Structure 1
Amino acid sequence: MTSAESATRNGVDAATAEAEGSGLSPWSALVGVPHVDVAPHPGPITAEIALPGSKSYSNRALLCAAMAEGRSTLTGLLRSDDSYWCAESLRRLGAGVTVDGTTVTLDGIGRRRPRPEARLYIGSAGTTARFLPGLLAAGGPGAFTLDASRQMRGRPMASLLLALRRMGADIDCPETPDAPPLTIRGVSMLGGPVRMSGALSSQFISGVLMAGPLALNGVHVMIDDHVVQKDYVAMTLDMMEQFGAVVEADPDLTDMRVETGGYRPADIALEADASTATYFFALAAVTGGTVTVTNVGTETRQPDLRFIDVLERMGCRVVRAPGAVTVAGPADGRLRGGLDVDMRPLSDATLTLAAIAPFADGPVSIHGVAHIRKHESDRIAVICAALAALGVSVEERPDGLTVHPGRPSSGVMETHDDHRVAMALSVLGVAAEGVRLLEPGCVSKTCPPFFDLLADLGIGVTRG
């Protein structure tokens, strides 16, 4: 990362943001903007749009490239808070990181640690928080401090840290048990076999797997129960293989082996973020319009693209292609309800579905997503409270919710520093009576230009 990328930009000084534990970065949008008003849209939204890159792929690629020996080039990088702090942490370790728009040239360090006493700050980047500890413990000598935003400090990682420690990793949590800040000592994780639960987070599994090529004995991960979102584990294995890792896994991803041997550099083109795409497909669904996302399609492993299957059940018309998808609203203008949907495989799209459910002709029940209560916010509780505040009848359950048909009113809504809450409620506001979103800059976690993209579609967006 160049010095210009590390300096003040978009009104954010990286050093100040780190000191405050805010998670903001020089790539943040809407800094200092207290609210955004999203207006109702009077007619169908019709557009072709290319969306920013995948957060999941961006951070996986950055980390694999940094742990390779040699130069990699990544195109289509997502310029978000999470990606910024991931890249900045790698730079502090001694990797050469140069960013030009959405292209990154990265000179990897392999197992070496050119700065063996680095202090790393990862903001609110959950992927980096879960993937970097194993890579540090399995790499070369050094003592590293990994700190995070206030929000990330409140998200424990007990299952991951237990698995890493069972393989020898020397990781301490000096302030809060099983949560950042962490103190990690290199050359401590030898690897080998380890049993762990997959029911809490796929990222915990990925964090162990990614350390495998650097560990002396590789890793052999055995899952005792089930993998909550195994598509994301498959994405991790795919990315590792693109960077030269040797992996073997059974079809259920409950028995996985990674050989020692390190990573090799690679040039990777990153596709759009399928989770972000769900909001734009939803806009087509609720306005009776047609939206084509031109840079993600059926070739993707991102599970949230399956949201188009849910929209099809609700009466939408979907055209699928390997690199693009088109969604058109129902021919008769009314979404179908009476659905019971297991959203566990695509849980990041839960709030998108909840936001359009009031406009269906029958109840929409969502289940299988108890784990999203422990994301940036308690997403089930937050969306239920928001819908109720807007006059929609909703029933909350431990693992989901049921939303009944209704006409949401306008309102002033908290975003709870949760990007998915902000983006989902924006869709609802467009389809109903508008909405005012407080602290809208949280969208910078995965899609800083989100509100600009809405405005480009002709939606009224006013910054407070």
Structure 2
Amino acid sequence: MNLHLNKSTIHKASTIQITGSKSESNRLLLLQALYPEIKITNVSNSDDSVLMSKALASRDNIIDIHHAGTAMRFLTAYFSTQDGRDIELTGSKRMKERPIAILVDALNQLGADISYKENQGFPPLLIKGKKLTKNKVTLKANVSSQYISALLLIAPKLENGIELTLDGEITSVPYIKMTLSLLEEIGVKTKFEGNLITIAPKKQSEVNAQQLTVESDWSSASYFYSIAAMSAIGTSITLSSYKQNSLQGDSALATIYKSFGVTTTFKDNSVTLQKVEEVTLDTQINFDLKNAPDIAQTISVTAFGLGLECHLTGLHTLKIKETDRLVALKTEIEKLGGQVAITDNSLTLKKVTNRQQNITIATYNDHRMAMAFAPLALKVPIIIEDSKVVSKSYPTFWDDLAALGFIFSV
């Protein structure tokens, strides 16, 4: 379904309730499957988390997780530990093009029995669940943090825990620390020193019954930062439920968007974004996003909407997401009249103030493409192709934009 967004002006003050973090939800859902004593509230209503929950509850031998990349990685690790259970883990056409050999090789180092049904190094996977007794494994430090987190989440259930060595410079540290913090919350002993992560084993009987609340999703908040940045001075948007000391790497938004004239105020588990000043056209937007690559699309589009030059680095993991996000950003911004240069690790946007109107933005089965470009309707009317793709992480996104004052039609 294509959505035509008219040029819009939003309300001066708005409040939005955002669902729980997909990243936290999926980690806690896996931990709950390992330790059923855990109860979770404010779980994400995203497609990914719904698929993750259904897969963990399923007794079928074939599990299809469609486009859910996090679920593919976490479930590969989970099912490898389920002694006596044989699973075929598969997904969408795009999922079968996303590499997973790094994780499979690491699990097999620990004694897992995982093989490929079709193409070597890619889903679908054939997993023979078994008891894993080995505990030493090494991974390249610059791989997706989801590979690392998948290993860490199953670690306390391994007979001897895990000693994970990360080789090289570590990227996406906040996501690793999020996983370790959630493990600590349920009483698992962890240690992260230098390039070595150690997780102690934890029997099910040693985990106390407890309730954990998922913080709202900072990645989802990014689109409202972009909206605030492109709005008039004085515009404010309040979002809940957020913590100032967040586990999520994307909470860096609070610092990053100062460059776009947006302040962040925390109060009573909510956060208020306010546009306090206009940025000048000579403002330089330069950020290393190695710890928060998922907000690169939002930042790029914000800079384009405000006519600013922008240089972002630390983006190497974007090439293996739902689509090659660097190529997709370049293609769509250039359709709108922008000039973009990309490498395997960076994106550079030239200063352009003349934006094309009523351009159709392709979304590439990627929820973040749709949501990152939507705020541009504050500057020019645009069309979002396959608008329902947002359900992957934020099913009520368009409803919330309508509540802000955005005007659109199918």
> Shorter-chain TM-score category?
over 0.9
Cα shift at 1:361 = 5.6
Deviations, residues 71-93 of structure 1 (Å, cap 9, x unaligned): 43211111121111111111114
Cα shift at 1:334 = 5.4
Instruction: Tell me the equivalent position of 2:202.
Output: 261
Q: Give unmatched runs, 5+ long, in structure 2.
A: none
Instruction: Tell me the equivalent position of 1:276.
Output: 220
Alignment partners' CA distance in 2, 1:454 and 1:312: 22
Compared CA separation, residues 458 and 292, structure 1 to 2 (3 A):
same
Cα shift at 1:138 = 2.3
Instruction: Tell me the equivalent position of 2:115.
Output: 172
Cα shift at 1:58 = 0.9
Cα shift at 1:456 = 0.9
Alignment partners' CA distance in 1, 2:282 and 2:52: 41
Question: Partner of 1:319: helix, strand, or coil?
Answer: strand
Instruction: Tell me the equivalent position of 1:405.
Output: 352
1:337 and 1:364 in contact (8 A); partners too: no
CA RMSD of superposed structures (Å): 1.9
Instruction: Tell me the equivalent position of 2:334.
Output: 388
Q: Percent identity?
A: 26
Alignment partners' CA distance in 1, 2:333 and 2:15: 30
1:74 and 1:267 in contact (8 A); partners too: yes
Alignment partners' CA distance in 1, 2:223 and 2:240: 14
Alignment partners' CA distance in 2, 1:304 and 1:336: 26
Q: 2:404 is matched by which residue type in structure 1?
A: L
Q: Give unmatched runs, 5+ long, in structure 1.
A: 1-33, 94-116
Equivalence map 1:224-243=2 (5 Å)? 224-243=167-186
Question: Partner of 1:373: helix, strand, or coil?
Answer: helix
Equivalence map 1:44-443=2 (5 Å)? 45-68=12-35, 70-93=36-59, 118-250=61-193, 252=194, 254-263=195-204, 264=207, 265-288=209-232, 289-321=235-267, 323-332=269-278, 337-360=283-306, 362-403=308-349, 404-410=351-357, 411-428=359-376, 430-443=377-390
Alignment partners' CA distance in 2, 1:398 and 1:322: 41
Alignment partners' CA distance in 2, 1:321 and 1:395: 40
Alignment partners' CA distance in 2, 1:322 and 1:258: 34
Instruction: Tell me the equivalent position of 1:25.
Output: none
Cα shift at 1:358 = 2.0
Deviations, residues 327-386 of structure 1 (Å, cap 9, x unaligned): 222424757621221122111100001111124464111112122011111111111111
Alignment partners' CA distance in 2, 1:174 and 1:322: 50
Alignment partners' CA distance in 1, 2:69 and 2:281: 34
Compared CA separation, residues 172 and 332, structure 1 to 2 (3 A):
closer
Cα shift at 1:437 = 1.1
> TM-score, with normalisation over the residues of structure 1?
0.82
Q: 2:390 is matched by which residue type in structure 1?
A: V
Alignment partners' CA distance in 2, 1:348 and 1:65: 26
Compared CA separation, residues 258 and 40, structure 1 to 2 (3 A):
same
Alignment partners' CA distance in 1, 2:48 and 2:308: 38
Compared CA separation, residues 336 and 56, structure 1 to 2 (3 A):
farther
2:254 and 2:263 in contact (8 A); partners too: no
Cα shift at 1:43 = 5.4
Deviations, residues 18-45 of structure 1 (Å, cap 9, x unaligned): xxxxxxxxxxxxxxxx211122213565
Q: 2:402 is matched by which residue type in structure 1?
A: A
Q: 1:316 is matched by which residue type in structure 2?
A: V
Alignment partners' CA distance in 2, 1:377 and 1:182: 21
